[in-house]
Amino acid sequence: MPERDRIKGYWRPELETIDPQARQEYLDPKVAEIVAHAYANAPAFKQKMASVGAEPGDVVSVADLSKLPITEKGELVTLQQQDLPFGGLVGVPLSKMRRIYVSPGPIYEPGEKRFTDDRWTQAFFAAGFRPGDIAQVTFNFNMVPFAFYLDEALNLMDAVSIPAGVGNTELQIQVMKDLKVQGYLGTPSFLAAIADKAEAAGLDLLRDLNLKVAFVAAEMLPESLRASLQERLGMIIRQSYGTADVGCLSYECYHTGGMHFAQDCVVEVVDPETGQPVAEGEPGEVVATIFDKAYPLIRFGTGDLSSYVNDTCACGRTSPKLTRIMGRVDQVTKVKGMFVHPSGVQQVAAKFPQVQMFQLVVTREANQDVMTLVCELAEPTADREMLRAALEKEIKEGLRVKGQVNFQEPGSLPEGCKVIDDRRKWD
């Protein structure tokens, strides 16, 4: 059982438990301020606003953000190559920066002089990190910003960081043991590798290590892996979602069931075609606005597909939760007005072990989209009609679009075929 004081509490109680309406009122002036700042200092943003005929006075609230176009990550590389190093998306002179990070692309990222962004700190606290913890950061410190952000964010909460970086598993285990490290920051797969290697070296994971809490990111965290690691290491394992560009956008609390939107930023889930916010529960692109004056990213499109829920959470935090990340926006297909992603189809099929191979085929008949799940069964099933009905129900619930099922003989679908085959012709 985790220690009780790691489960309770907040890093920014005044914001984390605020009434949602009051949160909007808190965020509105911050939006107005960063938009005015970016307009005055970042020429690329000014141009972006001009492209839709907007001026700073037009965007003074969270709701006004939907007037602005989305800046997709891919645009950063183009903008920067036209105007090195930052493509006109920078809000302060070089003398006001601490570092320049280099992300794959390459994309050059200005780092603020004094690190004030506490969104990762909120995430750590929600996961169960506490002041005075020693935490081992096993993300890459080579050029890219993420590990530095985490190191700074640990410092903000008076936790102590060991900048361990990647690899060196044996040394990492020795450090963990010698320093009685409580916190782990890294990928879930590296934590599993550490546990395996420590056991192989004869260590008792619970007695010889002192791990209490892990913050994992950058990889999928299957629930089975979370459960086994929590059990083996006797620790809490929580995940977050964010990107190198916009930082932390959401994080799990002790009660899981999604990732609470972080405070002090605006997270939107939007229709990738129109850029307009979608309703609760509907899939869309995660778009973020952050208040970093050095690197003002406003309506930055992450390219990741998710949805959000507004349920009340036992932890007392009042922000909505992002559900899981469903995949990349460029892989979605729009069917009858709804976005369908390969991972959604895989989830539906995974509930039916009888289905050995499958493909979702989208066609158009009489100006209507038709969605058919083509299935090959492992063995002939006695009651195909019952299976068909169950599959069709699951399709409607899981994908939120009505679809039909077509059983085919084994071998009909080519090995390794794509999950969604969109056969619609639009000419």
Q: For residue 363, give the 3-state DSSP assignment.
A: strand
Shortest Cβ 312–Zn ion spacing (Å): 9
**CA-CA distance, 188 to 193, in Å (whole number)?**
9
**Least distance from Zn ion to the Cβ atom of residue 405, Å:** 37
Give the nearer residue to Zn ion in terms of CB position, either 16 or 394: 16
Nearer to Zn ion, 127 or 405 (CB): 127
CB of 188 to Zn ion, least distance (A): 20
Query: What DSSP element (H or E) covers 224?
Result: helix 223-233
Which amino acid, one-letter code, is at 321?
Answer: K
Please, which residue, 213 or 360, has the CB nearer to Zn ion? Answer: 213
**Phi then psi dihedrals of residue 355, to 5 deg:** -85, 115
Closest approach, Cβ 313 to Zn ion, in A, equals: 3
Q: Please list the residues that pair with 349 across neighbouring strands.
A: none
Select 235 or 253, whichever has its Cβ closest to Zn ion.
Answer: 253
- CA-to-CA distance for 126 and 112, rounded, in angstroms? 24
Q: Please tell me the distance from the alpha carbon of residue 21 to that of residue 105, in angstroms, as a whole number.
A: 39
- Write down the least CB distance from residue 229 to Zn ion, Å: 21
Nearest distance, CB of residue 59 and Zn ion, angstroms: 30
Question: Minimum Å distance from CB 118 to Zn ion?
Answer: 18
Residue placing its CB nearer to Zn ion in the complex, 9 or 56: 9
Nearer to Zn ion, 125 or 300 (CB): 125
Decide whether 255 or 384 has the Cβ nearer to Zn ion: 255
Q: What share of the chain is helix, strand, coil (3-state, %, to 5)?
A: 35, 25, 40
* Residues 410 and 356 sit within 8 Å (Cβ to Cβ): yes
Could you list the residues that contact Zn ion (CB under 5 A)?
253, 255, 313, 315, 317
* Alpha-carbon separation of residue 103 from 117, 144, 246 (angstroms): 19, 5, 13
> Rounded distance, CA 124 to CA 227, Å?
19
d(CA 381, CA 402): 23
Q: What does 154-183 look like in DSSP terms, one character per residue? A: HHHTT-EEE---S--HHHHHHHHHHTT--E
